[in-house]
Structure 1
Amino acid sequence: MKTKIDIVRSHYEASARGDIDAMMADVSPQVRWTEMAGFPCAGTWIGPQAVVENVFAVLGKEWIGYRFELQSLIDGGDHVVGVGTYHGIYRATAKAMQARVVHLWTLKEGQVVTFEQFTDTLLVNQAMRAERD
């Protein structure tokens, strides 16, 4: 049986490969997935399909080379913390973005039941804004 930290690590490895099915393999059907206010996909999405449609599909469509680079995983029992950096180029402005991020995962009975993102939304939004004359 995979440990909680193994489940989160597997998600990040699948993300790096662009394998959505593997990313969502250990996500509860009732997952509460929260993207931080001010982030392009802000909100709380319930269920894997809502997460795919409202987070991953949007990021894939609006950003070029959008990715999360994992620096460390912290085992906190029922919680796992992923620390890393987002990278990407916003398609509409062609501006690059790099922002530090922390993900808080809660797992129960081998499934992700909640996810919450904390990031520097100003850096993300600066890449999304067109230059003004």
Structure 2
Amino acid sequence: MCPVSASPSNVEIIRAHYAASAARDLDAMMANVSPQVRWTEMQGFPCAGTWIGPTAVVENVFSVLGRDWENYRFELQTLIDGGEQIVGVGSYHGVYRATGKAMQARVTHIWTLQDGVVVAFEQFTDTLLVRQAMTGTE
């Protein structure tokens, strides 16, 4: 009898997303994302808005951050397993290319999954700290 392989849990799926992000592997980051995902970046953030589908997310979020920020990254501190909702808490880091100013801001991500697929994402962060790096102000 062959062993049955268990599907990854929702928290494992999100942990894998963050590991792929750290490795800068966009394909792996989007591997468990619904074609109709609703991805919301907070008002005041450089990529603010709700993007529908992985292609829109890559074009309007990850490509923009990679273009405008040097060494932009998310460092995960805590994952909270809420079943169909997973909360990731950590910090953003990077240097805004146009100003050369570094930024570190706390952030919370709320992920919603259905049947092992990300159907929604919402970001909450201190947009003032991000904006200060972008404008070179304190």
**Bin of the TM-score, shorter chain as denominator length:** over 0.9
TM-score w.r.t. length of structure 2: 0.94
After TM superposition, the structure 1 = structure 2 runs for residues 28-107 of structure 1, keeping only pairs within 5 Å, are 28-107=34-113
Structure 2 equivalent of residue 118 of structure 1 = 124
CA distance in structure 2 between the aligned counterparts of 1:92 and 1:130, rounded to whole angstroms:
9
Structure 2 equivalent of residue 22 of structure 1 = 28
Deviation at 1:77, TM superposition (A): 1.2
CA distance in structure 1 between the aligned counterparts of 2:130 and 2:11, rounded to whole angstroms:
27
Q: Which amino acid aligns with 2:43?
A: A
CA distance in structure 1 between the aligned counterparts of 2:23 and 2:81, rounded to whole angstroms:
23
Deviation at 1:79, TM superposition (A): 0.1
CA distance in structure 2 between the aligned counterparts of 1:29 and 1:128, rounded to whole angstroms:
32
Deviation at 1:44, TM superposition (A): 0.1
Structure 1 equivalent of residue 10 of structure 2 = 4
CA distance in structure 1 between the aligned counterparts of 2:20 and 2:92, rounded to whole angstroms:
16
**Residues 79-120 of structure 1, C-alpha deviations (whole Å, 9 max, x = no match):** 000000000000000000000000000000110000000000
The count of residues paired between Structure 1 and Structure 2 equals: 131
Deviation at 1:15, TM superposition (A): 0.2
Say if 2:134 is the partner of 1:128.
yes
Q: CA RMSD in A?
A: 0.6
